[in-house]
Chains A and B, each alone.
Chain A
Amino acid sequence: MDEPAYTVVSDSETTGEEKSSSAFPEIAIGIDIGTSQCSIAIWNGSQVELLKNTRNQKMMRSYVTFKDEVPSGGVSNQLSHEHEILSGAAIFNMKRLIGRVDTDPIVHASKILPFLVQTLDIGVRPFIAALVNNVWRSTTPEEVLAIFLVELRAMAEMQLKRPIRNVVLTIPVSFSRFQLTRIERACAMAGLHVLRLMPEPTAVALLYAQQQQLTVHENMGSGSEKIALIFNMGAGYCDVALSATAGGVSQIKALAGSAIGGEDLLQNMMRHLLPDFENRFSNHGMNEIKSMGLLRVATQDAIHKLTTQTDVQIDVNLGNGSKVSKLVNREEFEEVNQKIFEKCENLIIQCLHDAKVEIDDITDVILVGGCSYIPKLRNLVMGICKKEELYNVINPLEAAVYGAALEGAVASGISDPFGNLDLLTIQVTPLGIGIRADGNNFVPIIPRNTTMPARKDLVFTTVRDNQIDALVTVYEGEGEKVEENHLLGYFKITGIPPAPKGVPEINVCMDIDASNVLRVLAGVILPGCPHPAIPVMEIRLPTVDDGHGWCAEALYRTYGSTLDLETVQKKI
């Protein structure tokens, strides 16, 4: 097979850069990797500037095609036609696939994409492959992302005439820490160092904070606090954030997110136009790939048109004598996607609830992302927030990358004489983090929407007499049962002194530091003992590698409840 196009930065190169950076601090660039589009921006000394590729595009399609000797991505590759992405040779939607195992519904929904996504439904990584000269060339979302990032990096280095090393990337709110490690790995493959991974709406919140700072400069530190609701929906993900802003400090009050986006709207619409399309497409033959591509492009086109017109005529010839010819109106589109819109609504309500913010207190409602042009969504968000209009001094497609570039400059220690970088974001944890205890339950130790840095602990105990080992399985998510959450890792506490069940006190402490690194500490004591029974264990998480979803299952099958823990009831 071809040599991979990504490079791994050598040590010498790294140290060379660090030396030069001491004299002249390197400004980290901001990258917004979208499910469908991608952009890159940097603080140029006085403001944020979006970089353009050689074809003068600020927004580049997120895909990599394997059809040539060297894979090429949407940064450099010139598409002759949209259909080229849909030929089977190109991989896209990698942001939807990265860090997911083959039992994930999102992976299953990706089976109708023109490239190959196969699942065995046992909790390992899915088989993903591009069709190149009638041969399936296997790849991974990390590799595809890395190839794409290499192109982005080359483009930026060419324009800025300096090596690029540090980046701030935006990520969906619903990404688990395991998914974040996949993103970091892709960056490492591309020779990039991740300075920050920033949830998309919090990047937008930072831009908003800067804009507010500019308008009321005199009231530094105090001044009136502005509450903003930020709703972001792109092709792959939907995020909501509530931020309280004053004096350049953007305090995130709550986050909510889900893997729903334009891709789901599109698939529902395709199903509406051609009800048996999934069956038709299941064997991934050349002809099926082609006709599916045609339907996809036509449907996408129609959805775009429905943002400005009330109805649209779809006429597409799928080959093999089958044709779709239909007049679709906006109501139909909204009805077909009713469930998606309901989920969006729930996310907003949940976020408002978690932030303990009253609707009347919201100053501005900010809508960003590719789906923000959909009239139904605009009305829905304005309806919930009881607002007549949306915050309109922000570009919905560029806001996230703009915020990422601001954060890149701030985190690189750059200051601006005019105070334009006098900014701070106070982040919260988007998902709860806890362990398995009390049977198969997920017991959160750091609840979601906890301000970071954070440190919390809980006391657990043994479930059996003379239990000397205990398994600490760390999960992230919101589900009550462990299997509804993301597995981050597990480790065994060994050498617990024999004692009746319920006597040893097992303290599990979780710590998230300023750079969002999660550590888990576990210690054991017996009542009446002056010293901890065993040395405190400290583990950095996540520890799981690809496809370890099934490992947890295997663990529980092998050990049953012999290594279980339960929470110590709080005395009231």
Chain B
Amino acid sequence: MASLSLSSSSTHFIGSKVINGSEFHSRPISVNFRPLRVSAAAATCESSTAERTRRSTYNMPRHISSPASLYEVLGIQMGATCQEIKAAYRRLARVLHPDVAAATRQNDDNTAFEFMKVHEAYETLSDPEKREVYDLSLFRQRRPVSSPFAMSSSAAAASGFSGYTRRSWETDQCW
């Protein structure tokens, strides 16, 4: 199937709109329903300053709610060592992992998606090969937030429209 038809059709999903980031009118709908999940989606969307400000009002660490890159998801510098990446991952896991969140009586669902996002960032950055590819894509695209490695699943969930996400990232890159 042609990538063009794939991507064009996928824009009909709310999930894709979030990723696409160009049709903001769809967002407030999901915001009303599940405000915290939307902040998870921020990982995968290029957001305007206004969007960021609005979202940062939610009670979540800023680097998680509106990260500019996977490094920001983990709250580390671009040149971070492998050790620092792992330590950051564990530090965040101790806060965001649903097991911990359950014990501190936070909402399971939200932290689950936050954790998935953190894990995905960790998976990419802790693998030297994946990290290299990612770093290159950061450099080339100059629009890091729509990185192909950003988490598609959390985006889908965040949109409040479960089951639909964008296509595989390869097709996304054809945009």
Contact = CB atoms under 8 A, between A and B. Distances in A.
Most chain A beta-carbon neighbours within 10 Å: one of B97, B98, B123: B97
A221 to B, nearest CB: 5
Contact of A514 (B12, B99, B127, B163): B99
B153 A569 contact: no
Nearest to B163: A521
A523 B165 CA distance: 11
Given A526-B9, A571-B174, 20 more contacts: A244-B86, A247-B87, A247-B94, A410-B103, A424-B97, A453-B112, A453-B115, A455-B156, A456-B153, A509-B165, A513-B108, A514-B97, A514-B101, A527-B9, A528-B8, A532-B13, A532-B164, A536-B164, A571-B1, A571-B171
A251 B171 contact: no
Interface residues of A, number: 50
Contacts of A244: 86
A221 B164 contact: no
A221 B94 contact: yes
Most chain B beta-carbon neighbours within 10 Å: one of A247, A249, A453, A529: A453
B115 to A, nearest CB: 7
A320 interface: no
Interface in B102-133: 102-103, 108-109, 112, 115-116, 119, 123, 127
Closest 10 CB pairs of A and B: A514-B98, A521-B163, A455-B153, A527-B9, A222-B87, A413-B103, A453-B112, A509-B163, A523-B163, A249-B90
A249 B13 CA distance: 38
A242 to B, nearest CB: 15
B6 interface: yes
B90 A525 contact: no
Contacts of B12: 525, 529-531
A500 to B, nearest CB: 12
Interface in A512-565: 513-515, 521-523, 525-532, 536, 538
B60 interface: no
B167 interface: yes
Nearest to A537: B163
A505 interface: yes
A424 B167 CA distance: 33
Main SS class of interface, B: helix
Nearest to A505: B9
A34 B87 CA distance: 36
A411 interface: yes
30 contacts: A221-B90, A244-B86, A246-B90, A247-B90, A247-B94, A410-B103, A411-B99, A424-B94, A426-B93, A451-B123, A455-B156, A457-B156, A459-B167, A459-B168, A507-B165, A509-B163, A515-B98, A525-B9, A525-B13, A527-B8, A528-B9, A529-B9, A530-B12, A536-B161, A538-B162, A569-B1, A571-B3, A571-B6, A571-B171, A571-B174
Contacts, number: 130
Nearest to A519: B162
Interface residues of B, number: 46
A530 B99 CA distance: 39
B108 A514 contact: yes
Contacts of A425: 99
Nearest to B116: A453
Nearest to B112: A453
Contacts of A569: 1
B91 A536 contact: no
A157 to B, nearest CB: 25
